[in-house]
């Protein structure tokens, strides 16, 4: 479906990253991690996750034309609500509230509206991945491989490879690699590999705030009166 393809393009900038959350007691002093211990730690960290704000930068690499493009902005997440405001190079707003998804392009004076409906669980695998996702949740949707320990921006990280179990998801994204910050167990960086083309996206985060107070009003659709509303079909 068209909206699923659209989501896969925008979702790479929708996953959140590290926070200022301190090192847990279980994580202190740990030298070598196993896949089981990493997933257990993610379960512990997920219990205290409620919301997040961050700046985000996404670089899309298109293999066939050897091209790189970068877009940046800010993101808010609380529960099943998400507000992504892209500022560079072109302004664009992506708002998700429950089953509703809006993509607003001020330059075109239009907003596309999607009803996620029965595809909500499929979409959540992309839009909510990394938003305090626990280890048990990851196991439900992905085959998980622990790759190795690495450093991202001088921070120690554990790298995981996630292969979607769903064929529908694999038709869009063949795999995801995530670098988890060992100090807080949220992603520092993610790479998303598109199926077929070999194209991929690198997402990085900064100015992270864990569990900020975000009012409902921040997730209200607000467009100028002259904005054209479009509901794509199929």
Query: How does the average pLDDT of the chain come out, rounded?
Result: 81
| Coil, strand or helix at 3 | helix
Right CATH number for 2-216 from 2.50.20.10, 3.30.1360.120, 3.30.360.10, 3.40.1160.10?
2.50.20.10
Burial class (CB in 10 A: 0-12, 13-18, 19+), 59: middle
Domain boundaries, the chain: 2-216
How much is the pLDDT for 65?
A: 93
> What percent of the chain has a predicted confidence (pLDDT) above 70?
81
How much is the pLDDT for 6?
A: 42
- Predicted confidence (pLDDT) at residue 8 exceeds the cutoff of 50: no
Tens of pLDDT, residues 182-208: 877 777 888 999 999 889 999 888 787
Q: In what order do the strands lie in the sheet with 81-88?
A: 142-152, 155-164, 173-181, 187-194, 200-210, 51-62, 67-78, 81-88, 92-97, 100-105, 110-115, 228-230
Task: Enter the pTM of the model.
Answer: 0.76
- Predicted confidence (pLDDT) at residue 104 exceeds the cutoff of 90: yes
Using the 8-state DSSP alphabet, how is residue 119 labeled? G
pLDDT level of residue 224 (50, 70, 90 thresholds): very high
How much is the pLDDT for 31?
A: 55
């Amino acid at each position: 479906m068209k909206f699923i393809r659209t989501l896969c393009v925008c979702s790479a900038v929708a996953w959140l990253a590290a926070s200022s959350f301190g090192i847990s007691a279980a994580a202190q002093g740990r030298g070598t991690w196993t896949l089981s211990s990493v997933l257990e730690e993610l379960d512990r960290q997920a219990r205290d996750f409620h919301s997040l704000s961050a700046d985000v930068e996404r670089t899309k690499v298109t293999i066939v034309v050897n091209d790189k493009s970068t877009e940046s902005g800010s993101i808010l997440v609380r529960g099943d609500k998400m507000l992504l405001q892209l500022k560079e190079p072109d302004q664009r707003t992506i708002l998700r509230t429950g089953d509703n998804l809006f993509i607003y392009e001020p330059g075109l004076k239009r907003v596309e509206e999607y009803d996620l409906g029965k595809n909500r669980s499929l979409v959540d695998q992309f839009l909510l991945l990394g938003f305090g996702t626990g280890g048990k949740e990851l196991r439900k949707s992905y085959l998980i491989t622990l790759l190795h320990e690495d450093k991202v921006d001088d921070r120690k990280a554990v790298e995981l490879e996630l292969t979607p179990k769903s064929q529908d998801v694999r038709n869009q994204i063949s795999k995801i690699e995530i670098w988890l910050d060992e100090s807080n167990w949220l992603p520092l960086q993610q790479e998303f590999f598109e199926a077929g083309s070999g194209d991929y996206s690198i997402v990085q985060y900064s100015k992270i705030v864990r569990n900020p107070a975000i009012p409902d009003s921040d997730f209200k659709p607000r467009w100028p009166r002259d904005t054209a509303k479009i509901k794509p079909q199929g």
